[in-house]
Amino acid sequence: MSEEPGTKDELVEGEDFYREGPYIVFTEKYLRKRGYCCESGCRHCPYGYKRNDERGTMNDEQS
């Protein structure tokens, strides 16, 4: 990724991500643009990955 402002790799706050407390949350739009699932349990994962471990995640939805 390039470090220069204004390049195509620059993330745009509010479009590619937003801040929630100390966390940076990637949007579904950005995750689709990235093109693959990282299997980290992202809140807006468009690939359907749900993290299922004992620690849980901030975005677990209990049914």
The pLDDT tens digits of the residues spanning 8-59 come to 679 999 999 999 999 999 999 999 999 999 999 999 999 999 887 544 445 5
Position 62 pLDDT exceeds 80 = no
Q: Which long-range contacts (CB under 8 A, 24 or more apart) does 4-12 make?
A: none
DSSP state of 47: T
Asked whether 22 and 31 are in contact (CB, 8 A), the reply is no
Average pLDDT, whole number, for the chain? 81
CA atoms within 13 A of residue 20's CA, in its CB half-sphere: 7
Domain positions in the chain are: 11-52
Task: Identify residue 27 by its one-letter amino acid code.
Answer: T
pTM flag (> 0.85): no
